[in-house]
A = this chain, B = another copy of it.
Amino acid sequence: MLNHSDDRRARRSRRLLKQGLSELLREKKFSDISVRDITDRMDMNRGTFYLHYTDTYDLLHNLEEDVLKDAQEVIDEHREEIKGVNTLKPIFSPLLDYIVEHRNVCESLFGNNASSDFIGKLHQLIYRNGSELICRRWLNAPKERMEYLMNFAAYGTIGLIRRWFDTNMGISKKDLLDMADRLINGAAVQLLGEPQQL
């Protein structure tokens, strides 16, 4: 049914469709964007759309997955650097760089007119990767508390990023990173006590 080939033309079509949606999202609400809108703008046949995606939601979700996959790769590249240190900066810093670099598509996905679960997926990403760090520092903490802490911290971090984003990166990256470390650490220590090891 759906085409997922590696053909150069197919890649081009998928790229163009994503680009078209991304552009349109900056102009109008997702609910007002039709398949025809996207294909017309990119000068492609409407039928081509259905070779690759089932509907506009499917395309949007693929757009999200692209961004999240990139983000995960950035994290993986720096995973080793947070072992033994008491900060999330080594991971958080390149992640912010990525967001700034791709601010256009990120803005579309963050935007309140986008119809998706980008926030939920982003939360899972942060949760997944943050748990590792927390587990290492609080080895014997109650599992349940740790999970609530992680949910609090993961969503809280999204709040920080969104604020930074909405104020056009008005403060320096360093200041943001310092605040993130302090907020997360403060919350963690208050809930779980002093960490057992670094």
User: A residues touching B (Cβ–Cβ < 8 Å)?
Assistant: 29-31, 55, 57, 112-113, 115-117, 119-120, 123, 144-145, 147-149, 151-160, 162-163, 171, 176, 179, 182-191
A99: min CB distance to chain B, Å: 16
What's the Cα separation between A159 and B130 when bound, in Å?
Answer: 14
**17 residue pairs A–B, Cβ–Cβ below 8 Å:** A30-B115, A31-B57, A148-B160, A148-B183, A151-B160, A152-B157, A152-B160, A152-B179, A153-B156, A156-B156, A182-B187, A182-B190, A186-B186, A186-B187, A186-B188, A186-B190, A186-B191
Q: DSSP class of A's interface residues: helix, strand, loop or mixed? A: helix
Give CA–CA (A116, B158) in the complex, Å: 17
Name the distance in Å between A153's Cβ and chain B's nearest Cβ. 7
